[in-house]
A and B are shown apart, each in its own frame.
Chain A
């Protein structure tokens, strides 16, 4: 399986993602934001970080960079595109997934482990995964998912919610919402489920001696689904 990680000026999880993808068998290539063509890939990842210093709105400038037209075309032709954290913010700015990510409700930068419930397994990202709840890491200032009522209805009708913040047992409650996100949404799909945007970082949970292994579960499962 071939993957590509896009590096924008200010990306800082691009190399972590490269290490994680390679660990589980992806042949990964790093792609610079000013490139025009994507290398032949089965998966494109928009990594976390602070692209363009988060100027204007997080992800807004990166969403207009040269490589993004190829990424959008790739997604529209059914290619798998995953945006993590700042990558999720970039995805919403391209319009590939609906909604926006606002400033966290209590205005603090949140950096901690959270539990997320997998809300839809009928897709290439979460199909066949045994767990219903994953422990992953979040680190963001703008992860407060928001969309209009009409968009929310459409998202729910099309089962586009991928993961929700929850507790260890999988209960989705306001108490377990770290950032004020609408309905505890931590990640969503596009309608076709080939594009996934999520705030948590699976690439930070791939080594039991450093963190946890739930990121490994997700990435191992992902490459198996793609084979």
Chain B
């Protein structure tokens, strides 16, 4: 079963990489952008077959390793 996780920086945390990407896009002519924030995306293929259990385990992974909750939020996308 595959579960995906998206990690984003919290609202108040400075994202210099996002800023530079914004500037680059701006320079390429994409002038309608308010802000760019860069994040991370994970695909976790687990042997677990119970979706609820799999999701709970991934949540534990997010809290313990994948995200740093001081600066980041995580969002688990349900198993497909």
Contact = CB atoms under 8 A, between A and B. Distances in A.
B77 to A, nearest CB: 19
Contacts of A106: 16
Nearest to A59: B68
Give the size category of B's interface with A: 10 to 19
Nearest to A105: B16
5 shortest interchain CB distances as A-B pairs: A100-B70, A107-B16, A100-B71, A103-B16, A100-B68
A191 interface: no
Contact of B71 (A102, A107, A180): A102
27 contacts: A56-B65, A56-B66, A57-B68, A60-B65, A60-B68, A64-B65, A93-B68, A99-B70, A100-B68, A100-B70, A100-B71, A102-B13, A102-B14, A102-B71, A103-B16, A103-B17, A104-B16, A105-B14, A106-B16, A107-B16, A107-B20, A144-B14, A146-B13, A146-B70, A147-B70, A151-B70, A180-B16
A180 B19 CA distance: 15
Nearest to A148: B70
Interface string B1-32: 00000000000011011001000000000000
Chain B interface helix/strand/loop/mixed: helix
Contacts of B70: 99-100, 146-148, 151
B29 to A, nearest CB: 23
Contacts of A144: 14
A61 B71 CA distance: 17
Contacts of A102: 13-14, 71
Contacts of B65: 56, 60-61, 64
Contacts of A146: 13-14, 70-71
Contacts of A148: 70
Contacts of B20: 107
B30 to A, nearest CB: 20
B63 to A, nearest CB: 12
A8 B13 CA distance: 29
A9 B16 CA distance: 28
Interface in B59-80: 64-66, 68, 70-71
Interface string A32-69: 00000000000000000000000011001100100000
Interface string B27-41: 000000000000000
A103 B19 CA distance: 12
Contacts of B64: 64
Contacts of B68: 57, 60, 93, 100
Nearest to B9: A102
Given A102-B71, A151-B70, 17 more contacts: A56-B65, A60-B68, A61-B65, A64-B64, A64-B65, A93-B68, A100-B68, A100-B70, A100-B71, A103-B16, A103-B17, A106-B16, A107-B16, A146-B14, A146-B70, A146-B71, A180-B14
